[in-house]
Amino acid sequence: MVLRWRFLLVVLLSGQSGWAQAWTSQLFPKVNGKYTLHSVDFAGQQWALDDYSYAGYFLGARSPGAVPCAVQTLSATGDISAPLQAAINVLGQSGGGILRIPAGSYGMSAPVAIPYDNVSIEGAGSGQTRIDVASNYASPDPPYDGLFTFGRSFGHSNHGWIENGKLASTVSTVIRRGDMQVDADNASGIKMGDWIVVQQYFWPGLAAANSQSPDAWTPDAVAFSFTYLRQVTGKTNNRVFLDAPIPWTLDPANNPVKLTFTDNQMHENVGIRGLSIHFENNVGTETDSTGMPAPHGAAVFFEGVRNGWVSDVNVSNFPREGIYLLYSARITVLDCAVIGAQDKNGGGWGYGYEAENSQNILIKRSRGEQARHNFISARALTSVLAQTQNLSRDPTQPDDTHYSFEQAILWDKHTQQQGESLYAVNRGDQSTGAYQTLASAVVWNFNGDGTSKNAAGDAVLWGGEVHLAPSPNGQAILTGGPGADSVFDNSDDGVTPRVHGQQVPPAAGLQVGSAPNARKNVLYEGLGQSGLQPDSLFEAQLANRFSPPPADWVNACGAAPSAAANSVGNGFSNLPGAVSPGEIVTIYGANLGPAVAASLQIDTSGLVATSLAGTRVFFDGIAAPLVYALAGQVAAVVPYGVAGEANTTLLLQYQGQRSAPITLPVAAATPAILTADGSGKGQGLIANADGSGLNGPANPVARGGYILMYATGAGQTDPPGVDGTPNMPPYPKPLLPVEVRVAGVTADEQMVGAPQFLAGFLQVNVRIPMEAATGPAVPLELRVGGVASQSGVTLAVQ
């Protein structure tokens, strides 16, 4: 298949009108080409970002879905609750594998439990495998179990890892925020690979400073503690090395710090993918805040799970929770949608995505809509929650932190619409222990639409606003954004009437609240400034740890993509050879993408997406913007980061499987002209500048007239090229000298990035020389840095 590039000339990149000058945070500047964490002293405090890349499945180090390639396919129809549970038991008891639910519609009237390791439940896709949950749905453990309950059997709990393990050692030295090692008092019983819990109970002074009667925090209790699950990666004498940073400073002078082993009851490496779950209305055994009977149960529920996933799962009309994570760690929620709650009145339900007493959680590219709270987190045991590239809209109450001192919460590229708001404030005694719900957080590149009412026309609490009021013992950072939303400092929801706080004005630099009573523990940077780079804090931090980062998902039984060096060619000339920065290339091979072509997409930040239908392409670990993806061929834009290199390593990825590395030479320029039929030969895809349409034998250009032709492979530009961006003023120009020849005669020209098209796609404005030959097929050549474009390209001249 030869790609017809013509569609690029009629489909403008969307969402670019507000493109602004790129800027970087003082807390995450670019140093030697790499975004680097940097602390900043301002307003009497030191400010620093946590590393949120340690969130999700295996702390981001592996791709979800990697289970034994033992496949069972469910053959049942109708109500599949009983046969589904039977199949899960067989698979789980035999060591794990994949249970596939084919495309189609099914019913369920009872939940299933997955108290096993290494089990993946996979539908054919959220648009293909549908489960309808009957109105008579009943669950053994209302209200907290799920239709799919991972980590425990019904009738049992699984959170003993927090407090039931044996003591490994006490700790008498301070553990600093960000540390990945602990100096134990006696580490003789600890060995590499052990799972340990680093723990310190809240002390009376901390509880008194952050809560009060009648719902004051309980000091010296596990519910109000700093509790972190970590795996031992090494040991030197009594120094124990951990696999993830500690997000809060633990000083034994405040309360004892201890290391305990887990209870060995957690289940690992389990998840669900590729189906839709719709609940009919059901009535549970409880009552809501209005005294009415309330539904119970969740769609997907994890308790006591370590390293799990929920991917491409759509939930609608859920009873109590959509996707609910409780006492779990290292879970990835990816590309999901949770829309519509049966009960939004209160009492602990109506939550779309909830992370409660859970840590190192990643919720990515997911949508929440029409819930009481679309995205919510709860309890002091919750830490390192990375919520990135999500969309939240049309709620009845805001996205928020819900209880008692959650640490290292991230809202990253978070988009809110239709009455949604964000608040992480002191909720006082509205709910037991709800004081000072936030200890530390970052809001990065936030975007809200500023609307105060939801789709029903109801005002949402502080709709279209952002409110951050962390504990006096903590701090928060808001960098970039927030779109059309307003930002308020020192807000307090725990008093009557509510303290709305001081509105923070837009400013390009750093600021803190300036009101007389402001705590000055929220740092605002670049408020009201678009163009923040990197646009995603999480993705940049993950790329710093892994190059390239693991796939979002791996098909454990899929075939790896394959290609050869001579199958990589310029996308306009179709000729193989060296690649250059910003060059559009076509790669031919096998298992490269889906059976039906997926075409260029624009992500939420207005960049060309680097992932299409499970396909990704990497050059030296840098994800390339993708033009299209198909099983036999992929078109991508070579990242500008290869500039100056002698060679680059190409990796192809489809559904998590990766090709063998391919080494390609790098040239400063590899110019090529786009032709009308995409073959790289014959009539160029050229517009006559007089507005008469495309150039050709039936519509030639006159000598002395002007044409617009299109090219790629001109190399690095000024301003420097940025991968996946649209070409906007000042339009980038090649650094190397450019020459256009018409029938061998040098023409006047100007070569710039084609307006509104992606970086690497260039427009050349050419005046046809008066000395040029005439005819229906006059030779046309482009030279950049002395390198000539492909031969055989023509235009019509009269």
Residues 743-784 pLDDT 10s? 999 999 999 988 878 899 999 999 999 999 999 999 999 999
At 605 the pLDDT is 66
Residue 5 has pLDDT above 50, yes or no: no
Residue 436 has pLDDT above 60, yes or no: yes
At 294 the pLDDT is 76
At 158 the pLDDT is 96
Sign, CA torsion 269/275/278/282: negative
At 181 the pLDDT is 98
In a domain, 458, yes or no: no
Per residue in 228-252, pLDDT (tens digit) is: 999 999 999 999 999 999 999 999 9
Confidence at 607, pLDDT banded by 50, 70, 90: confident
Burial zone of 24 (CB within 10 Å; 0-12 exposed, 13-18 middle, 19+ buried): middle
Contact 754, 736 (CB under 8 A): no
Kindly calculate the radius of gyration of the chain based on its CA atoms and give it in whole angstroms: 29
Per residue in 257-278, pLDDT (tens digit) is: 999 999 999 999 999 999 999 9
At 208 the pLDDT is 96
8 three-class SS: helix
At 6 the pLDDT is 41
Confidence at 726, pLDDT banded by 50, 70, 90: confident
Portion of the chain with pLDDT greater than 90, in percent? 87
Across 627-645, average pLDDT: 96
Given 233, 258, 283, the domain boundary residue is 258
Given 258, 279, 304, the domain boundary residue is 258
In a domain, 779, yes or no: yes
Confidence at 16, pLDDT banded by 50, 70, 90: very low
Detail the DSSP E strand segments found in 172-224: 181-183, 195-201
Confidence at 136, pLDDT banded by 50, 70, 90: confident
Across 538-562, average pLDDT: 94
Burial zone of 192 (CB within 10 Å; 0-12 exposed, 13-18 middle, 19+ buried): exposed
Across 579-598, average pLDDT: 96
Note the Cα 640 to chain centre separation in Å: 22
At 793 the pLDDT is 98
d(CA 406, CA 651): 39
Residue type, 161: W
Confidence at 139, pLDDT banded by 50, 70, 90: confident
* Nearest C-alpha neighbor of 411 from the set 476, 350, 460, 335: 476
What are the residues whose beta carbons fall under 8 Å from the beta carbon of 87, sequence distance 6 or more?
Answer: 72, 74, 99
d(CA 550, CA 558): 16
Sign, CA torsion 543/546/547/549: negative
339 three-class SS: strand
Half-sphere exposure of 98 (CA within 13 A, CB side): 22
Contact 481, 446 (CB under 8 A): yes
**pTM (global) more than 0.85:** yes
250 three-class SS: strand
| CB count in 10 Å sphere of residue 499 | 18
Per residue in 289-312, pLDDT (tens digit) is: 777 777 888 999 999 999 999 999
Sign, CA torsion 162/164/167/168: negative
* Nearest C-alpha neighbor of 386 from the set 372, 357, 365, 417: 365
Residue type, 687: A
Confidence at 15, pLDDT banded by 50, 70, 90: very low
At 757 the pLDDT is 87
At 282 the pLDDT is 84
Residue 620 has pLDDT above 90, yes or no: yes
Per residue in 337-351, pLDDT (tens digit) is: 999 999 888 777 899
745 three-class SS: strand
Per residue in 508-522, pLDDT (tens digit) is: 999 999 999 899 999
Sign, CA torsion 154/156/160/165: negative
Across 461-476, average pLDDT: 96
At 20 the pLDDT is 54
Residue type, 274: G
Give the helix, strand, coil percentages of the chain, each rounded to 5.
5, 45, 50
Confidence at 789, pLDDT banded by 50, 70, 90: very high
What is the domain extent for residue 680? 672-797
Residue 108 has pLDDT above 90, yes or no: yes
Residue 174 has pLDDT above 60, yes or no: yes
Beta bridge mates, 67: none
| CB count in 10 Å sphere of residue 680 | 22
Report the number of distinct structural domains present in the chain. 2
Comparing 191-200, 279-288, 428-437, 473-482, the range with the smallest average pLDDT is 279-288
d(CA 227, CA 306): 15
Across 536-552, average pLDDT: 94
Task: Provide the token pair at 247.
Answer: 């997000």
Note the Cα 520 to chain centre separation in Å: 30
At 485 the pLDDT is 97
Given 229, 258, 287, the domain boundary residue is 258
At 518 the pLDDT is 93
In a domain, 242, yes or no: yes
The secondary structure of 262-322, three-state, reads CCCCCEEEEEEEEEEEEECCCCCCEECCCCCEECCCEEEEEECEEEEEEEEEEEEEECCEE
Residue 604 has pLDDT above 80, yes or no: no
Note the Cα 546 to chain centre separation in Å: 15
Task: Provide the token pair at 109.
Answer: 């009237």
d(CA 364, CA 553): 12
In a domain, 352, yes or no: no
At 316 the pLDDT is 98
Task: Provide the token pair at 474.
Answer: 């903590």
530 three-class SS: coil
Between residues 722 and 785, which one has the greater pLDDT? Answer: 785
Residue 4 has pLDDT above 90, yes or no: no
Residue 17 has pLDDT above 80, yes or no: no
